[in-house]
Structure 1
Amino acid sequence: MPKNTKGEQSKNKLIECAAELFMQKGYNATGISDILAGTGLPKGSFYFHFPSKKDLAVKVSIYYENKIGVWILNTAKGRVWEDFIEVLIGQMIEEAEGENFFGCPFAVLGLEIAFSEPDIAEYYSKSMKKLIDIFTSVLEYSRVPAINASAIANRAFAIYEGYLLYFRVSKDINVLRMMLTDLISINKS
């Protein structure tokens, strides 16, 4: 595996810091100076890698898609729906108890930029669709007929995102526990 160059390391540092700040403070409330302060990199480093904050936001969406997509795919492997949901939401609850969980970046950031930056929001929308596809696959693995799996996955995703947004606003971990209960039983209704 090739070693990351210093430039690649700086670029990744900017993306990771921006991803964290966008989730904590929001896209609009995070300035380039905040990202530079968080990384300790000079201003020129930012503009060497990204023509604008908007271009960085696209890379952040790809970063989250890779990070969350891999996590959810790995969580899904070989699990039926109920086990998948227990592990997935259990990990979210654990993170929330450690105050390291801020909700779903696709929904949080997608909502914030949906109308002001529709071209960036499109990336977040595609990532959400990929999560629905994972939900569909797990339901099909759980022997839900394919004809029903897609509709149930869409409903499950709406419940998932609704609870994650509610958790973000309320900061009440019990909201995640309610989500766990509702999602476990979704394919039984």
Structure 2
Amino acid sequence: MDSGSATDGSYGRFDGSPSRSDLERFFFLDETDPSHIRVRRGDHNRLGFAVQLTTVRYLGVFLVEPQNVPAVVVGHLREKLGLSAAVDLDQYVMRPKTAYEHSWEIRDAYGFRVFESPAVGEEFRRFLDGRAWTHAEGPAALRDQAIGWLRRHRVLLPGSEITSRDTTQASPTRPRTSFSNTP
């Protein structure tokens, strides 16, 4: 999956259609999802909620324009929800506040955290500093690791410039000690 690679420019957005294995890995509906989806009024809102939920799992962000998700994702979720092909996201985005409200509900119900939280920032900096100390990686590789850490810890991705800045600045807080056998 290249949804967060530092080298392909697709940070927090779709770069083409997800593979079949990515559809199965990220665009699934588990046993708790139907209870959150079922309460939506109208099939278009159920589909929109499912798109928002699975997209944040995959990309680490909520899309500003959820109707721009690849058609293969919409078709996959329609099938999972048992919706007809006539149901699309056009009606879902007619009221822009709906997608925004759904993103807040998903964030709260599924435990996604915002990067700006002081606790998250501290955890993230500890990870970056530890990674920089223990691995001989360049900034791009460190950024890829950072994005993976954010997604695994359900932290919504900040702007790409923030992740780039933080990984570029990651360095040990104290000088390394060199050990040698010479007196």
TM category (shorter chain) comes to: 0.3 to 0.5
Q: TM-score, normalised by structure 1?
A: 0.33
**Rg bigger for which structure?**
2
Higher helix content, 1 or 2: 1
